[in-house]
Amino acid sequence: MKGRALITGLTGQDGSYLAELLLGRGYEVFGVVRRSSSVNCERVAHLNDQITFIQADLLDQTSLISALRRARPHEVYNLAAQSFVPTSWEQPVLTGEFTALGVTRMLEAIRAVDRGIRFYQASSSEMFGKPSEFPQRETTPFHPRSPYGVAKVYGHYVTVNYRESYDLFACSGILFNHESPRRGIEFVSRKITQGVAKIKLGLSKELVLGNVDAQRDWGFAEEYVEAMWRMLQQDEPDDYVVGTGVAHSVADLVRIAFSAANLDWQDFVKTDESFLRPAEVDHLLADSSKANTKLGWKPKISFSELIAMMVDYDIYRLGKGLPLYSSVALAGS
Ligand code: NAP
Ligand code: F7E
């Protein structure tokens, strides 16, 4: 029998890669999209005729129940969230509604429609925030440093709680930063690779950043959706840390990105306090031993290869005048 999967956050970076993975494995894929006055499906435009789009919103309980009744999925991947950390200080309540309470709404919808549905929750390394141990693993205490991180801690614990309370097959993937040519332009990796491409093509003269000393464990998004899927194929539901086990600073990312375009970053990069955050996450590093052992998951692409891929994509896209998530360019990215 063909598996059916419902993805919330289909139109985001991870949703587009996950849809490709599931279609490739023979699933019938349903994607939740929220209503807006203009179509916002660029990242999945190349999959348009293979996915069933369902209008629903994490803010609206009834719409989630209807989406489940219509799709009758075996698996639900809850990727939808307000995912940009700085916005979570500007819109802390809305971030909590989407990113925290939205998880409960989806779990309640599953309870109402079909308790056999397997559930994946997109948790985040931002939950560790100011970590008490290095590297971070599943048992490392949480110390979130933003309203986004706090909301993700809620989403994580409510997932664990519904597993323990109602015996749902509910998994939480604690994913560290993952990037790609499909990353939103406000996140630092893409801001840098697009900035490099603009400078290379003579469209811009400088790149202005915030805290370049921050360190993250950055991996490739396409590889991370494989870990999500594997979590839902296990005999028992569980929580897993997913990352590369290698940390780099934003300054490293800058150096590698500029050198991939044969440019000297010192000629172009400035810093500005307006990009600093009220509370920073200084350093994160994943211990993915559990995912390595139990899921057989390991990252393949190196940090330098990832950044070079993103720089190449942005130079190609901007050089051809293609839109940000051009379906032509994305089909091969
Ligand atoms: P993203 O590109 O920002 O995508 C977020 C998605 O959520 C978009 O499809 C967005 O729809 C949707 N969404 C937001 N609010 C919604 C609502 N109220 N109802 C329905 N849909 C809504 O995020 P991503 O990078 O793919 O990340 C996917 C998930 O993993 C997120 O939950 C994120 O917090 C989490 N995460 C990401 C990373 C990372 O490094 N990328 C690491 C750990 C965890 P629109 O297109 O309509 O805005
Ligand atoms: O920042 C520093 C910034 O916005 C990374 C989300 O996907 O990953 C992401 O959250 C670092 C921070 O990602 C700029 O201060 C310096 O220390 O790319 P980012 P994030 O905040 O780590 C986690 C795992 C998620 O779950 C989130 O959803 O880079 N930084 N200068 C800057 N950051 C930005 N955005 N812009 C700058 O100019």
CATH at residue 103? 3.40.50.720
Distance, in Å, from the CA atom of 329 to the CA atom of 141, rounded to the nearest integer, reads 41
Given this model, what pLDDT does residue 194 score?
A: 98
φ, ψ (nearest 5 deg) of residue 202: 75, 20
Instruction: Say if CB 122 and CB 9 are below 8 A apart.
Output: yes
CA of residue 184 to ligand 1 center, whole Å = 10
Residue 169 neighbours by CB under 8 Å, 6+ apart: 116, 117, 118, 119, 163, 232, 237
Pair 87, 51 in one domain: yes
Distance, in Å, from the CA atom of 85 to the CA atom of 93, rounded to the nearest integer, reads 13
Residue 295, domain member (yes or no):
no
Pair 254, 275 in one domain: yes
CA of residue 42 to ligand 2 center, whole Å = 23
Catalytic residue among 20, 28, 75, 126: 126
- Is 126 among the catalytic positions? yes
Residue 15, domain member (yes or no):
yes
Catalytic residue among 27, 148, 162, 325: 148
Pair 92, 227 in one domain: yes
Given this model, what pLDDT does residue 40 score?
A: 87
Pair 174, 280 in one domain: no
Residue 16 neighbours by CB under 8 Å, 6+ apart: 10, 43, 44, 47, 182, 330
Pair 234, 189 in one domain: no
Show the low-confidence residues of the chain (pLDDT under 70).
327-333
Residue 56, domain member (yes or no):
yes
For the chain, how many structural domains are there in total? 2
Closest protein CA for atom 23 of ligand 2? 177
Pair 17, 160 in one domain: yes
Index of the ligand 1 atom closest to the CA of residue 59: 18
Residue 314, domain member (yes or no):
yes
Compute the chain's Rg from CA coordinates. Answer: 19
- Please give the distance of CA 183 from its chain centroid, rounded to a whole number: 8
CA of residue 267 to ligand 1 center, whole Å = 34
Pair 231, 190 in one domain: no
CA of residue 181 to ligand 2 center, whole Å = 16
Index of the ligand 1 atom closest to the CA of residue 16: 26
Pair 206, 138 in one domain: no
The CATH number covering residue 267 comes to 3.90.25.10
Pair 317, 197 in one domain: yes
Given this model, what pLDDT does residue 329 score?
A: 63
Distance, in Å, from the CA atom of 209 to the CA atom of 212, rounded to the nearest integer, reads 7
CA of residue 209 to ligand 2 center, whole Å = 11
What is the domain extent for residue 54?
4-178+219-242
Predicted confidence (pLDDT) per residue in 203-243, tens digit: 999 999 999 999 999 999 999 999 999 999 999 999 999 99
Given this model, what pLDDT does residue 332 score?
A: 57
Residue 195, domain member (yes or no):
yes
Given this model, what pLDDT does residue 82 score?
A: 97
Cβ neighbours around 167 below 10 Å, total:
10
Ligand having the closest approach to the CA of 37: 1
Pair 127, 159 in one domain: yes
Cβ neighbours around 210 below 10 Å, total:
18
Residue 291, domain member (yes or no):
no
Residue 237, domain member (yes or no):
yes
Pair 36, 24 in one domain: yes
> Ligand 1: which residues within 6 Å by Cβ?
8-15, 32, 34, 40, 57-59, 79-83, 98, 122, 124, 175, 177-178, 184
Distance, in Å, from the CA atom of 80 to the CA atom of 148, rounded to the nearest integer, reads 13
Residue 196, domain member (yes or no):
yes
Instruction: Return the best residue to mutate from 57, 79, 126 for the ligand 1 pocket (most ligand atoms within 8 A of CB).
Output: 79
Pair 168, 253 in one domain: no
- Is 120 among the catalytic positions? no
